[in-house]
Amino acid sequence: GIQVEQSPPDLILQEGANSTLRCNFSDSVNNLQWFHQNPWGQLINLFYIPSGTKQNGRLSATTVATERYSLLYISSSQTTDSGVYFCAVEPYGGSQGNLIFGKGTKLSVKP
């Protein structure tokens, strides 16, 4: 099956710093989503981005489907950005809705 690899696994930032999280996937995908899981377990939708570039405030994402990767940019990080960031993909030709998650990037933002 498809492999989803996220890097780095852990990231510690000082408040105000910028960061880039990466998601590589091994096969073509129908859909790709980025989530932020807060300390209480809630998965918060960040981007639905099977291709192209999107921006939402301090966050932006780019997916290059032909090269099978996606990047999540966080600028001017805040302590509330701490948590785990997941990339999840729906494989092309697979069952609709079958989201496969990467192992996540754990982000800690220090004041």
Partner 1 sequence: DTEVTQTPKHLVMGMTNKKSLKCEQHMGHRAMYWYKQKAKKPPELMFVYSYEKLSINESVPSRFSPECPNSSLLNLHLHALQPEDSALYLCASSRGRSSYNEQFFGPGTRLTVL
Q: Is 101 among the residues that bind partner 1 (CB under 8 A)?
A: yes
Total site size for partner 1, rule CB under 8 A: 22
Q: Which is nearer to partner 1, 18 or 98 (CB)?
A: 98
Q: Is 93 among the residues that bind partner 1 (CB under 8 A)?
A: no
Cα distance between residue 5 and residue 108, in whole Å: 20
Which of residues 43, 59, 65, 71 is near partner 1 by CB under 8 A? 43
Q: What distance lies between CA 53 and its chain's CA centroid?
A: 13
Q: Which is nearer to partner 1, 48 or 80 (CB)?
A: 48
Q: Which is nearer to partner 1, 75 or 82 (CB)?
A: 82
Q: Residue 63 in contact with residue 33, Cβ under 8 Å?
A: no
Cα distance between residue 3 and residue 58, in whole Å: 28
Residue 65 carries which DSSP code? G
Q: Residue 23 in contact with residue 70, Cβ under 8 Å?
A: yes
Q: Which residues bind partner 1 (CB under 8 A)?
A: 30-31, 33, 35, 40-43, 45, 48, 86, 88, 90, 95-99, 101-104
